[in-house]
Amino acid sequence: MEFLFVILPLCFFLGIDAAVFTLENKCNDIIWPGIQPGAGRPQLMNGGFQLKPGETVTINAPTGWSGRFWGRRGCSFDVSGKGTCQTGDCGGVLECAGAGGVPPATLAEFTLDSPLDFYDVSLVDGYNIPISIAPSGGSSTCQTVKCLTDLNQHCPDGLEMKKNDTVIGCKSACLAFNKPEYCCTGVYSTPKTCKPTVYSKAFKLACPLAYSYAYDDGSSTFTCQKANYSIGFC
């Protein structure tokens, strides 16, 4: 049993260093954030919950956590947590429990303590909701990253995802056309051969700090250290 006395204080110590994520719904509609941990990382909030306009939720993440956050919209769930979302759905359940969101979905991605925290807003899986990431209390660059342009209103022709006549999401060119040059696959599978396209350039113009295609690393990855992070929707 001695090992417990070693491990428990160690966990507590690691816990002190962990990051706090604050999720805020600045939209006018209810959203349902989804959280997918990286491989081998623990679930936060069982992967999903409802967030009303103006509400905030704080979530503690352990040291070394990685994963992604996204916003689901137009959901309806029954009392058992089964239902669907118009965008970002994770298999018809309120608590995504490890599943990711169906594209198109704007992502806020994190890899903590590696040894810096790396974070980005990604449009590689398309766009469905404005997202911002604001670090606080950290050292290093710690830049705020925003993609607040409503790309549903400025979605390039051919990428729109519509519900009746309303655009509710903006697909990536990879999802819309499934071609290697858009997906950075096949002969386009390296940063040298996969270049920006007219579609990724439109995303970049709308959100200069967000990933617009798979190899958009130079202008889209940000670092901070020992910080907390506010993730705003809208």
Ligand X SMILES: *[C@@H]1O[C@H](CO)[C@@H](O)[C@H](O)[C@H]1NC(C)=O
Least Å distance, CB 61 to ligand X, is 11
- Is the CB of 210 or the CB of 224 nearer to ligand X? 224
Least Å distance, CB 58 to ligand X, is 7
The string over 42-63, giving b where at least 16 C-beta atoms fall within 10 Å of a residue's C-beta and e elsewhere, is eebeebbbebeeeeeeebebbe
Q: Which residues bind ligand X (CB under 6 A)?
A: 20, 136-138, 164, 226-228
Least Å distance, CB 198 to ligand X, is 31
- Is the CB of 66 or the CB of 228 nearer to ligand X? 228
- Is the CB of 28 or the CB of 164 nearer to ligand X? 164
Least Å distance, CB 18 to ligand X, is 9
**49 and 10 Cβ atoms separated by less than 8 Å:** no
**222 and 120 Cβ atoms separated by less than 8 Å:** yes
- Is the CB of 140 or the CB of 149 nearer to ligand X? 140
- Is the CB of 83 or the CB of 138 nearer to ligand X? 138
Query: Exposed, middle or buried: residue 6 (CB in 10 Å: 0-12, 13-18, 19+)?
Result: exposed
Least Å distance, CB 201 to ligand X, is 32
Report the alpha-carbon distance of residue 124 to residue 214 in Å, rounded: 6
First CA to last CA across the chain, in angstroms?
50
Least Å distance, CB 165 to ligand X, is 8
Report the alpha-carbon distance of residue 212 to residue 197 in Å, rounded: 9
- Is the CB of 162 or the CB of 195 nearer to ligand X? 162
Least Å distance, CB 107 to ligand X, is 23
| SS3 state at 15 | helix
Report the alpha-carbon distance of residue 10 to residue 188 in Å, rounded: 45
Report the alpha-carbon distance of residue 66 to residue 212 in Å, rounded: 21
DSSP class of residue 94 equals: S
Report the alpha-carbon distance of residue 203 to residue 106 in Å, rounded: 11
- Is the CB of 153 or the CB of 164 nearer to ligand X? 164
Q: Which residue is nearest to ligand X (CB)?
A: 137
